[in-house]
Amino acid sequence: MFKGSFVALVTPMDQNGDIDYVGLKKLVEFHIQNGSHGLVSVGTTGESATLPFEEHIEVVKKTVEYAQNAIPVIAGSGANSTAEAIFLSEQLANTGIAGFLSVVPYYNKPQQKGMIAHFEAIADATDLPVLLYNVPGRTVADMLPETVAELAKHKNIVGLKDATGDIQRLKQTQSLVPDDFLLLSGDDVSSCEFLCHGGHGVISVTANLVPAKIAQMCEAAAAKEFDHAHKINDSVAALHQALFIESNPVLPKWALYKMGLINSANLRLPLILPELQTKNEIEEVMRATGIL
């Protein structure tokens, strides 16, 4: 269902901070042409935290429209309020999306049983598949493997995006969930190891810039061509690191702007354009990688 390389898509904005739908269409077409297996629209990389509901829903709708059924689109629908997450899921349900990505509630630090109640309520409110998203580096709260295993019993909860970067965590989760429960890496730095240890795919920030390579890495790992997967990963490893020198998606947007794929690197406050030194660093890595 959701296997291979899914791009954690940025949301392009113009100089006024409005959504650049022309730029969004260009990005979607770029990813289709370069072999991405799917897109995640308005996840955290898509600045979900600062898009009001109306814009959030419209960006997802347009992403689905531009994809033209060529590849599936997963919609970010997480919130730290269960009621808000359910509302978003209900509003997005009939937009043509393939499923939802729902993040562990941030800031309020729910207990493990609270996480179970939160995600079960969301999954009960839809017939579409739901991917859980554990990213303790941003949410502080960490969803444990035992909690994932309990949630995997729900018919609508089909997988996990794991951004812990911990391969031991992957192994712990694998031992507790059914074989068909999807395990996707949300940490580009460790994504190749994740795939080679039985992960089913990635939801990748780096794929915004080099979609073909991330897709090929996923395909190689799925074919158990692990040396080839590592070789591809080595060619973009510096990008994995450089894109997170400042808070995501500051540098992915800057990089896409420098590549000419979007017309502005603007972000929604409180995020701002990168510092000059950081711009120089990411551009140096892009030149070394051959994309600038």
161 labelled catalytic: yes
> Which residue ranges are tagged as binding site?
45, 203
- What's the number of CA atoms in the CB half-sphere (13 Å) around residue 27? 33
Percent of the chain's residues with pLDDT above 90: 100
Q: How far apart are CA 27 and CA 209, in angstroms?
A: 10
Place of tokens 């347009």: 62
The single residue of 106, 133, 213, 253 carrying the catalytic annotation is 133
The answer, yes or no, to whether residue 139 has pLDDT greater than 90, is yes
- Token pair of 30 as six digits: 């770029």
Other Cβ atoms less than 10 A from the Cβ of 277: the count is: 8
Q: Residues 275, 277, 278, 281: what is their CA dihedral angle, to the nearest 10 degrees?
A: 160
Q: Residues 159, 165, 171, 177: what is their CA dihedral angle, to the nearest 10 degrees?
A: -20
Q: 45 with 251: CB under 8 angstroms? A: no
258 labelled catalytic: no
pTM of structure: 0.97
> Which residue ranges are tagged as binding site for pyruvate?
45, 203
What pLDDT does 1 receive?
A: 82
Q: What is the pLDDT of residues 188-224, one digit of tens each?
A: 999 999 999 999 999 999 999 999 999 999 999 999 9
What pLDDT does 289 receive?
A: 96
Question: b/e map of 233-247 (b: 16 or more CB within 10 Å)?
Answer: beebbebbebbbbbe
Cα→Cα distances 65→8, 96, 171, 194, 241, Å? 17, 8, 37, 32, 32
What pLDDT does 144 receive?
A: 98
Q: What is the pLDDT of residues 140-176, one digit of tens each?
A: 999 999 999 999 999 999 999 999 999 999 999 999 9
Listed as own residue / partner, the contacts of 219-222 with beta carbons closer than 8 Å and 24 or more positions apart are 219/4, 221/192, 221/195, 221/196, 222/3, 222/4, 222/195
The single residue of 66, 106, 161, 253 carrying the catalytic annotation is 161
- Token pair of 86 as six digits: 């359910």
Mean pLDDT along residues 263-283: 97
Q: With respect to CATH, is domain 4-230 assigned 3.20.20.70?
A: yes
Domain residue limits, the chain: 4-230
